[in-house]
């Protein structure tokens, strides 16, 4: 009896210690299972089916895990068995992960997997570059454009097929499309600049700047284009009354995936949204009879050369630095980035393919509304959301500032000065 207990205790402690130490069997030359983690992913089954094709071609099994909360990613990357490929929802985290040594610089993988960088659209690839290093590869991309409700245009006496040509005209159209009740409350609103979420990166680029310089080494939050963009956005709140607009639009964001979305119910005439809305899972699902138009967001009147400016963002793939077999990761990455696979995945999800060859697939060109976004990405004016190692923290501060300006009517300039002062040292520190 006594011996049995001692033996049991020792066995239990020993097994626990062994597992805690993370002793691993030496990796075989060709791992049998590769693990792909995808942060975004509404339809994990479809993604798994896609990667099953890789298994059919190579005999290497691929396990897909999607979707993921951000708090699962960090422990996985720091742990002893990170995924072989990680697909992030945006480029925001890549530089901070790289700085912490959690993801690899991809030049070796690009070389060993013979990945053709010239096949990538320039704008989405830009978000993966840090100096001359490439830290990620864009898989799918998003662009944003102006959506307008043709029925409401007609009712307001506007030509339903002609969207506003300038940002100034957009504001005039908005006035015509806004219906105010005698008590000041709203019945219909012409344009809401931050419907769903903020789009300041688009407006700021239209005013000729951004809150970072082009290579993301300096914060330029207190510059004129940023101030102008926020003031331009703010007018849609202040002139109809901040409280009225807030009361009218409260809860709209939560109706995004339903037929109650204000754009469908005729409460909102114009707003900015992404390419997926023109695909099978949104407007044609929730409001198939909607009569709407999509066009590139207009430039300011005094800068017609900025027409067709779009700002790309989207999913990017990285190889964790702790991945067991980099060669195998690189091969799978190359396969993921091949035009046929990119076309299949993003045709299904109605997102923009980042591969130029994939973009020739009729799936992306046959729908004229979707093509508006494809053209924006191919346009030389296409820009990218500049990222830095402090992107996420800065974005949260930016979102708060945007809320203060739009939802309380605060003067943007002093807030931007403070933001600049707060984050200048943080960025400098992060780039050391």
Q: Which residues bind other proteins (CB under 8 A)?
A: 1-2, 5-6, 8-9, 12-13, 16, 20, 70-71, 74, 77-78, 96-97, 100-102, 196-197, 246-247, 249-256, 260, 321-322, 390, 392-393, 396, 399-400, 403-404, 407-408
Nearer to other proteins, 70 or 117 (CB): 70
Of 97, 85, 72, nearest to 137 by C-alpha is: 85
Residue 218 Cβ, how far from other proteins at the closest point, in Å? 20
> How many Cβ atoms from other residues are within 10 Å of residue 263's Cβ?
28
- Cα separation, 218 vs 93, whole angstroms: 18
- Cα separation, 25 vs 6, whole angstroms: 28
Name the CA radius of gyration of the chain, rounded.
Answer: 24
Instruction: Tell me if 339 sits within 8 A of 272, measured CB to CB.
Output: no
Nearer to other proteins, 89 or 379 (CB): 89
Long-range contacts of 172-177 (CB under 8 A, 24+ apart): 173/269, 173/270, 174/236, 174/269, 174/270, 175/239, 177/152, 177/153, 177/269, 177/270
Residue 208 Cβ, how far from other proteins at the closest point, in Å? 27
Nearer to other proteins, 263 or 335 (CB): 263
Residue 17 Cβ, how far from other proteins at the closest point, in Å? 10
Nearer to other proteins, 29 or 181 (CB): 181
Nearer to other proteins, 150 or 407 (CB): 407
Nearer to other proteins, 253 or 340 (CB): 253
Residue labelled with tokens 């707060």: 422
Task: Measure CA of the first residue to CA of the last residue in the chain; give whole Å.
Answer: 63
Residue 174: both structure tokens together:
């908005």
Residue 359 Cβ, how far from other proteins at the closest point, in Å? 29
Query: 3-state DSSP call for residue 427?
Result: helix
Nearer to other proteins, 259 or 304 (CB): 259
Nearer to other proteins, 255 or 378 (CB): 255
- From edge to edge, which strands make up the β-sheet containing 85-88? 61-65, 33-38, 85-88, 316-318, 137-138
Residue 394 Cβ, how far from other proteins at the closest point, in Å? 9
Nearer to other proteins, 251 or 288 (CB): 251
Residue 98 Cβ, how far from other proteins at the closest point, in Å? 11
Residue 251 Cβ, how far from other proteins at the closest point, in Å? 4
Residue 26 Cβ, how far from other proteins at the closest point, in Å? 21
Instruction: Tell me if 70 sits within 8 A of 118, measured CB to CB.
Output: no
Residue 353 Cβ, how far from other proteins at the closest point, in Å? 26
Q: In this structure, what DSSP letter does residue 99 have?
A: H
Residue 196 Cβ, how far from other proteins at the closest point, in Å? 7
Nearer to other proteins, 42 or 100 (CB): 100
379: left (phi over 0), alpha (psi -120 to 50) or beta: beta
Instruction: Tell me if 314 sits within 8 A of 182, measured CB to CB.
Output: no
* CA angle (177 as vertex; 172, 178 as ends), nearest 5: 100
In 59-166 the beta strands, taken as DSSP E runs, fall at 61-65, 85-88, 129-130, 133-134, 137-138, 140-141, 144-149
């Amino acid at each position: 009896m006594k011996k049995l207990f001692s033996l049991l205790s020792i066995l239990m402690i020993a097994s626990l210690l062994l597992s805690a130490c993370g002793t691993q069997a030496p990796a075989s030359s060709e791992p049998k299972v590769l693990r792909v983690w995808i942060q975004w992913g509404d339809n994990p089954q479809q993604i798994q089916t896609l990667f099953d094709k890789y298994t059919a071609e190579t005999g290497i099994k691929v396990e897909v895990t999607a979707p993921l909360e951000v708090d699962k990613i960090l422990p996985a990357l720091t742990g002893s068995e990170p995924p072989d490929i990680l697909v992030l929802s945006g480029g925001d985290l890549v530089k901070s992960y790289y700085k912490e040594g959690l993801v690899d610089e991809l030049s070796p993988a690009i070389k060993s997997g013979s990945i053709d960088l010239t096949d990538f659209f320039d704008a989405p690839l830009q978000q993966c570059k840090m100096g001359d290093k490439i830290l990620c590869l864009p898989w799918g991309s998003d662009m944003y454009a102006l959506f307008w409700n043709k029925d409401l245009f007609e009712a307001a006496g506007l030509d339903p097929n002609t969207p506003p040509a300038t940002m100034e005209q957009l504001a005039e159209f908005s006035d015509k499309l806004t219906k105010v009740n005698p008590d000041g409350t709203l019945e219909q609103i012409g344009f809401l600049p931050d419907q769903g979420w903020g789009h300041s990166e688009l407006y700021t680029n239209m005013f000729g700047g951004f809150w970072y310089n082009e290579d993301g080494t300096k914060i330029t939050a207190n510059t004129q284009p940023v101030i102008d963009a926020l003031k331009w956005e703010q007018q849609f709140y202040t002139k109809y009354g901040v409280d009225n607009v807030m009361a009218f639009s409260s809860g709209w964001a939560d109706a995004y995936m339903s037929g109650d979305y204000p754009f469908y119910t005729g409460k909102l005439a114009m707003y900015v949204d992404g390419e997926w809305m023109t695909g099978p899972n949104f407007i044609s699902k929730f409001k198939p009879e909607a009569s709407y138009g999509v066009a590139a967001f207009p430039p300011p009147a005094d800068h017609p050369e900025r027409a067709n400016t779009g700002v790309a963002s989207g999913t990017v793939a990285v190889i964790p630095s702790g991945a067991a077999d980099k060669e195998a990761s690189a091969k799978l990455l190359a396969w993921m980035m091949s035009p046929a696979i990119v076309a299949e995945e993003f045709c299904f999800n109605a997102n923009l393919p980042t591969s130029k060859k994939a973009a020739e697939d009729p799936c992306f060109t046959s729908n004229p509304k979707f093509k508006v976004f494809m053209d924006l990405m191919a346009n030389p004016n296409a820009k990218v959301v500049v990222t830095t190692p402090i992107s996420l923290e800065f974005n949260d501060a930016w979102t708060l500032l945007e809320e203060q300006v739009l939802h309380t009517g605060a003067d943007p300039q002093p807030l931007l000065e403070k933001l600049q002062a707060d984050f200048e040292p943080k960025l400098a520190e992060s780039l050391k």
